[in-house]
Amino acid sequence: MELTDLTAVQLLDGYRTGEFSPVEVTAAALERAARIQPEVNAFVRLLADEALEQARESAGRWRRGEPAGLVDGVPVTVKDILLLRGHPTLRGSRTVAADGAWAEDAPSVARLREQGAVFIGKTTTPEFGWKGVTDSPLTGVTRNPHDPARTAGGSSGGSAAAVALGAGPLSLGTDGGGSVRIPAAFCGIFGLKPTYGRVPLYPPSAFGTLSHVGPMTRDAADAALLLDVIGRPDARDWSALPAPSGSFVAALGGGVRGLRVAYSPSLGGQVAVRPAVAAAVRRAVAGLAELGAYVEETDPDLADPVDAFHTLWFSGAARVVQHLPPGRRALLDPGLREICEAGARFGALDYLAAVDVRMDLGRRLGRFHETYDLLVTPTLPITAFEAGEEVPRSSGHRRWTGWTPFTYPFNLTQQPAATVPVGTDEAGLPIGLQLTAARHRDALVLRAAHTLYAAGLTRGGS
């Protein structure tokens, strides 16, 4: 296998044995990133000189037998929503000025830096991460690694494409309505939205407590490793959770035998799922049953909360651009301008009514998970569609939430949710299965996902 095909766990094994060095691996990741960029457009910027210097320092530590931490020498990419010290974070917008000190790391970036990670680049995002595909007036369209005519999904589409194509095995994404899980599913990789607060976020998102930071990786074992690094409290985030009681990597074993799994193919008939997607997910669910899980086809008490989500999401978007004068607003993505105008029309009572819907949804899902350990659904009802579009052509959907009914509800409830690649459609486009658990049960989601990988039940295309 090429170095760019290896997981972070495999890279670390190679560093320990001296089979290869962080310098070789970083050079290979940078070469791959530069090669894919013209066609896929996954990167805002590459940091070749800086990354190679970090890799040389890491190589020295490994030679001395003194690695700095859990991911010393592993190439990492960072979505251009999160601060990376010394480099502009433009958030996909022509309204953000690139000048300034940019002297601070986001909490998740800071934890990675402390543990010896090598930062090879910032990845693309739609403007302020507002939609479920990745294109912006600043950076253009990010394309799917399996078919460049299709979208990579979003809003962490650059990260998903980079991981899928070997430009670093680890990436940091953000997820306010599915923005880790959507592109991970479309690109055939693993993505986890942890319990809210498990990974601290600073500066705080204008989308408030909908927005999570999560791992985007080749598999669940790499995601557990990354969460062990970034899932630590940071004083800058007042809502950050305490440190976990143990290691997520250590909790991967144990399988799924005896787990109570609720399988909801279409949320009680509310979602029209494409036959290829439904069949792939059903096959993987059958595999969970063969591995000893108690699987029941049943649905959570979940009426579509899209109106409440829109109230919260559109209000957040309006807050993001509130400071911009009219001339600057003309630079925004037209779709973003539309939802900002809608969000500005909501009043405080509208917002609080949406919070009431959110709290009731959380209560109902909390009760559901008293009976079931895991909820399994498709991640998305479709596979990747035309690049450069917010919604599939001729779908009749107005906004991206029309085709993401399995993802955004779990941002409202703040539960951990992961997507696992479980097959491809007739065009070779990846299909994702979503695993969701009660709040704070991130280790269970990772364990179940890891079991699917270990049993050979995952496949994301090539």
Distance CA 368, CA 413 (A): 12
Q: Supply 444's token pair.
A: 């269970």
Contact 403, 397 (CB under 8 A): yes
What percentage of the chain exceeds 90 in pLDDT? Answer: 98
H or E segment and range at residue 444: helix 442-454
Residues β-bridged to residue 212:
175
Instruction: Report how far apart, in Å, the C-alpha atoms of 34 and of each of 78, 121, 123, 168 are.
Output: 16, 11, 13, 12
Backbone angles phi, psi at 5, to 5 degrees: -90, -10
Residue 21 DSSP code: -
Please say if the pLDDT value at position 462 is more than 60: no
* Domains located in the chain, CATH noted: 3-230 (3.90.1300.10)
Please say if the pLDDT value at position 461 is more than 70: no
pLDDT in tens, 270-287: 999 999 999 999 999 999
462 or 37, higher pLDDT: 37
Distance CA 437, CA 374 (A): 5
Q: pTM, whole model, 2 decimals?
A: 0.98
Distance of CA 33 to the CA centre of its chain: 19
Q: Supply 123's token pair.
A: 């990845």
Q: Per-residue DSSP letters for 60-119?
A: HHHHTT---STTTT-EEEEETTS-BTTB---TT-TTS---S------HHHHHHHHTT-EE
pLDDT in tens, 348-396: 999 999 999 999 999 999 999 999 999 999 999 999 999 999 999 999 9
Q: Supply 193's token pair.
A: 């939205």
Mean pLDDT score, 140-144: 98
Distance CA 158, CA 123 (A): 5
Distance CA 25, CA 29 (A): 6
- What is residue 414's predicted lDDT score, i.e. its pLDDT? 98
User: What are the catalytic residues?
Assistant: 79, 155, 179
Percent of residues in the chain assigned helix, strand, coil, to nearest 5: 40, 15, 45
Strands (E), 230-336: 260-263, 294-297
pLDDT in tens, 400-426: 999 999 999 999 999 999 999 999 999
Instruction: Report how far apart, in Å, the C-alpha atoms of 305 and of each of 108, 139, 270, 302, 421 are.
Output: 30, 32, 12, 8, 26
Q: What is the average pLDDT value for the chain, to the nearest integer? A: 97
Distance CA 189, CA 413 (A): 24
Contact 226, 191 (CB under 8 A): no
pLDDT in tens, 146-193: 999 999 999 999 999 999 999 999 999 999 999 999 999 999 999 999
- Check residue 252 and give left, alpha or beta (phi > 0: left; psi -120 to 50: alpha): alpha
